[in-house]
Structure 1
Amino acid sequence: MSTHFDFIWRFIESPIWRANRTQNKHFDILDTIKTHYKLILYLIVVMVAFNFLSHGSEDLYPTFLREQKHFDAKTIGNITIFYNIAAIFGGIFFGSLSEKIGRKKSILLACVLVIPATYFWAYGNSLIALSIGACIMQFMVQGAWGVIPTYLNERVPSHTRSTLPGLVYQLGNLIASVNALIQTKTAEAMGNNYAGVMSVMIVIVAIVLLVLIPFGKETRGASLH
């Protein structure tokens, strides 16, 4: 037990934290919000759109497959497994790509490709078409998300990096939490037309991101010190 605590006690803080030790001691979240409110508001809006994109394409997709396509639970489970695997590879691919072409270009490319993927994801006329469409969709959606952790950390001042990225993400997620309710109520009112509701939502959000992202700064290569 003592060896375990001795190890924790001797653990060295990161060079970045040590370099910003003075600022860390005087960090005040309210002062930070007041000073950087324009950046914070921009990032919150971006996170709202991103959360609508991810949750809008994921949360009710199994419901769509059950209620509108009438697939059984096993088939829905298999499709869900496949598109989540595709999502992992999408995050890795676009995250790596952002090191070559930049954060903004990678996000924009993924969002552009989300739009044509929507057709196969929502209107595929067979199990195979829908499965491929779902995999392509999540590859692109989570591909765009794969850039976000680095992008957020590179956008905020270094001494706020342990606070602001999480704050803007959680506030964006909170606002976008109405997504499932909006989609469900609208789809039910349209005779369980989940395909129509979800596809319209995704295309609109993708376009919103295509408008928003160019207003942000490119951060590839930014120093984290």
Structure 2
Amino acid sequence: IACIIGIIMIPFWVGFIRIPGLSLLASIAIGAFLLQFMVQGAWGVIPVHLNELSPTDVRGTFPGFAYQLGNLFAAFIVFLEAILAQNIGTKATPNYAAALAIFSLGAFIAVIIFTAIGREARGIEFISADEQQPVPAGMVNPTEKAIS
């Protein structure tokens, strides 16, 4: 839902659409706020989702590694945005707004698609009883009920 609303906010964020009765700057500011609100709604749960998808043995490492690997690949996008901005606009006045809108649209669509086709770990027990580590002598096992 956040991705869909984020897609709707892109034209306001880049100044393609002006909110009636407001200046262009106010329209862009409102669009930017709403877009970033949706971005945090969509991307805020991705590390948790990666944690659910990761195998039990590497659950502590896999989400961070996968997230940073995504950042590594995304680092090259800035060069593609600059090339696209020059091709859409002119060399003297590149159209960065249109380039950012295109890449933002692509990112939102990618999250929608991967979320729709990805597996969900609902109702799955992440660690079985035989995989639990034994509690050392003298320590309280948090899974057992306390004796009053």
TM-score by length of 1: 0.48
1:194 aligns with 2:96: yes
CA RMSD of aligned residues (A): 1.8
Alignment partner, residue 164 of structure 1: 62
Looking at structure 1, the residues matched to 123 and 45 of structure 2 have their Cα atoms a distance apart, in angstroms, of 13
- TM-fit CA distance, 1:153: 0.9
Q: Is the 8 A contact 1:114 1:141 kept in 2?
A: yes
Structure 1 gap segments, 5+ residues each: 1-108
Q: How does 1:126-145 map to 2 (within 5 A)?
A: 126-145=24-43
**What code does the residue aligned with 2:115 have?**
I
Q: How does 1:1-225 map to 2 (within 5 A)?
A: 109-123=1-15, 124-125=17-18, 126-189=24-87, 190=89, 191-220=93-122, 222-225=124-127
- TM-fit CA distance, 1:157: 1.5
Looking at structure 1, the residues matched to 7 and 81 of structure 2 have their Cα atoms a distance apart, in angstroms, of 18
After TM superposition, which residue ranges in structure 1, 4 or more long, deviate above 6 angstroms? Answer: none
Relative to its length, the structure with more helix (as a share) is 1
- TM-fit CA distance, 1:193: 0.8
Aligned length: 117
SS for the counterpart of 1:162 is coil
Looking at structure 2, the residues matched to 179 and 224 of structure 1 have their Cα atoms a distance apart, in angstroms, of 35
Render the CA deviation track for 1:113-150: whole Å, top value 9, x for unaligned.
Answer: 11111011012541111111001111111111111121
Q: Structure 1 vs Structure 2: percent identity of aligned residues?
A: 38
Structure 2 gap segments, 5+ residues each: 19-23, 128-148
Q: Is the 8 A contact 1:120 1:129 kept in 2?
A: yes
TM-score by length of 2: 0.70
Q: Which gives a bigger RCO, structure 1 or 2 (Cα 8 Å, sep 6+)?
A: 1
Q: Is the 8 A contact 2:47 2:67 kept in 1?
A: no
